[in-house]
A and B are shown apart, each in its own frame.
Chain A
Amino acid sequence: MADLETPRATADPFAPLQRDPSGAERIQRRSRTAWQDVRYRLTTNKLAMTGFWLLILLVLMAFFAPLVWPFDHYTNDLQLNNQPPDSTHWFGTDDLGRDLFARTWKGAQISLFVGVAAALIDLVIGIVYGGIMGYYGGKVDEVMNRFAEILYSIPYLLVVILLLVFMEPSLTTIIVAMSITGWINMAWIVRGQMMQLKNQEFALASKALGASSMRIIFRHLVPNAMGPILVTLTLSVPSAIFTEAFLSFLGLGVQSPVASWGTMINDGVQSMSIYPWRLFFPALFLSLTIFAFNVFGDGLRDAFDPKLKK
């Protein structure tokens, strides 16, 4: 049969075509999700990828450098205080003779932890609060939004100082202080997204099927707002790191001998003109981290919304 089929086909190009009836519904293009699209645009953005790999490198160093480095971050050696950088102490030592290389990466751990933790708390509160505010609208929105506005208008330092009346200066205190007002921005972003998305037909379709409000918010609307949410998240990490550095600089943050970039910069500033390396290294890595998060966040924003750029 098969042998007969081929020659006849070449002989008679006008023979009717035998077709598989399901062929008309076949999808030709390769399956590609919206996330794959975003990944493509992000990976082709050189600056954003520089930021990304820089972040990976900083995180790896923060975790692995202290493990393999011969010195730890807290042992004093008063004979070796204020040593400039050399082959043993790459970044030099501080006034108590503690190794600055070890302290810089220990500080990186703290700073990154604070940044990420604060951003994640903002994320959770922001999504829930903003989601409910934006989806329900009307009176609910008015009351919740007014509350957020009032909270937002309280000077930030005042909140921190009031908080220190009840709590000891520590990492937890800093994170709590940042979270009290930090989530508001995220909530507003989510609220705006919800208001745009809630009247889309896919949300109405789900409502027509009998889905609960919570299901519509968290299964349908939030995943579709993930782009702006992720961008806000990435950009809020450096601001949290910076705030931690600032609070530690004022002496409200982590306490010695634990280091963060903020406390190290604080120490370094006091002897800036004599021992510049004590300021230089933590300041350099703080700037690098903030730079990396910012360019990566910008790249992410362009990847989610290519129209913004062109």
Chain B
Amino acid sequence: MSEAFVEIQGLRKYFNVGKNRVLKAVNDISFTIAKGETLGLVGESGCGKSTAGRTITRLYEPTSGRVSLSGVDVTKLSKSQLKAYRRRMQMIFQDPYASLNPRMTILDIIGEALDIHGLAPSRAHRKRRVEELLELVGLNAEHASRYPHEFSGGQRQRIGITRALAVEPEFIVCDEPISALDVSIQAQIINLLIDLQKRMGFTYLFIAHDLSMVKYMSDRVAVMYLGKIVELARSEDLYDRPHHPYTKALLSAIPVPDPDLEERKERIVLSGDLPSPVNPPSGCPFRTRCPIATGRCAEEEPAFREVRPGQWASCHYA
């Protein structure tokens, strides 16, 4: 890989959930993202992927670990230094119905980004800039005076993207940006994100649970399970030659919109549910549902090792 633009090292985020119980939502994850690259982060609900995204952008204070952006450790920045860094890393949220303040017009929602960083010298300038940004995502000036509830889900998500673009960031964390949208609208948003990346050279961390979209969107993909990354590889490699049994099960569980493929497919159906992250299993976190688990998996936590060039997995038997 070329040099790292974003570097996450040993990141942990624990939540106290009362009575000396600790929820290890993100438990020691490390990865890098090169400039202009898209790293997909997939996993099921409760695996910690959204918490990871929010900790990386310092919406949550990390428990430990480093997050560096072009060599500067973001977790060590003071409040005022952080504000300047917020311009460089932005976030797109999951729920387009909750991510826009219902009491503000689109002009004010996007304008706020300009206000906070003093990017608009005058009201007229601010309005013009917002309109320019709206056109960039396929909306128009007429939309600026309206309120969020008047827009459809896809339009709202584009407004959310516009808000992130307003501060001209370099790194964008996309936290499940399409999972709340209808199928016919998802492709609009994905195309827009890819198009913007090509034009402005954004670096993306793309968090999702829809593996086919992640595969399409990402250069490399990291699979999370119970707060840990269990496999990380170039997306073609991950889909063609998954090494971790969880990745294999996950891939085989996606229903493909093709009746013939569906009929031929050997589906690995995992038994059981996700264990509680408050009380994770000993050894390998996946062993309770793993079809190939042995005694060793309960005793010894597998190391995250390179199983093939560029492909990393944490399984004794990968």
Do A and B make up one complex?
yes
Q: Which of A31, A202, A215 contacts B98 (CB 8 A)?
A: A202
Interface residue B315 (Cβ < 8 Å from any Cβ of A): no
Please, what's the 1-or-0 string for B92-112, where 1 marks a CB less than 8 Å from any CB in chain A? 011100111111100000001
Tell me, rounded to whole Å, the shortest Cβ–Cβ distance linking A33 to chain B. Answer: 5
Query: Within the complex, which residue of A27, A31, A215, A224 is in contact with B102, where a contact is CB–CB below 8 Å?
Result: A224
Q: Note all chain A residues with C-beta closer than 8 A to B57.
A: 208
Residues of A at the B interface (CB closer than 8 Å) are 22, 25, 27, 29, 31-34, 200-202, 204-211, 215, 219-220, 223-224, 226
- Bound together, the chains give a CA A210 to CA B112 distance in angstroms of 10
Q: How far is the CA of A202 from the CA of B140 in the complex (A)?
A: 22
- List of B residues within 8 angstroms of A34 by Cβ: 102-103, 147, 149
Which of chain B's residues have a CB closer than 8 A to the CB of A210?
Answer: 82-83, 86-87, 116-117, 167
Cβ contact of A223, chosen from B86, B91, B103, B117, cutoff 8 A? B103
Instruction: List the B residue with the shortest CB-CB distance to A24.
Output: B138
Give Cα A31 to B105, complex, Å: 11
**A36 to chain B: closest residue by CB:** B147
Which residues of A have CB within 8 Å of B59? 204, 207-208
What are 15 inter-chain pairs, A to B, with CB distance below 8 A?
Answer: A25-B140, A25-B155, A27-B151, A31-B147, A34-B149, A204-B59, A204-B91, A204-B93, A204-B99, A205-B93, A207-B59, A208-B86, A209-B117, A215-B116, A220-B101
The reply to whether A29 and B112 form a contact with Cβ atoms under 8 Å apart is no
B146 touches A31 (CB 8 A): yes
Name B115-130 residues within 8 Å CB distance of A. Answer: 116-117
Across chains A and B, the number of contacting residue pairs, with CB separation under 8 Å, is 78
* CA of A142 to CA of B297, assembled, Å: 44
State how many residues of chain B have any CB contact under 8 Å with chain A: 36
Most chain B CB neighbours (cut-off 10 Å) among A32, A202, A220: A202
A211 to chain B, nearest CB (A): 5
Q: For residue A256, give the distance in angstroms from its CB to the closest CB of chain B.
A: 48
CB of B90 within 8 Å of the partner chain: yes
Contacts of B86 in A (CB 8 A): 208-210
Collect the chain A residues with CB atoms within 8 Å of residue B140's CB: 22, 25
Q: Does B150 contact A (CB under 8 A)?
A: yes
Name B173-191 residues within 8 Å CB distance of A: none
A208 adjacent to B90 (CB under 8 Å): yes
Which A residues lie within 8 Å of B95 (CB)? 201
B147 contacts A205, CB within 8 Å?
A: no
User: Interface code B65-104, partner A: CB below 8 Å = 1, 0 otherwise?
Assistant: 0000000000000000011001100110111001111111
Q: Taking the complex as formed, is B49 at the interface, i.e. its CB lies under 8 A from any CB of chain A?
A: no
Digitize B123-158: 1 where CB-to-A-CB distance is under 8 Å, 0 elsewhere: 000000000000000111001001101110001000
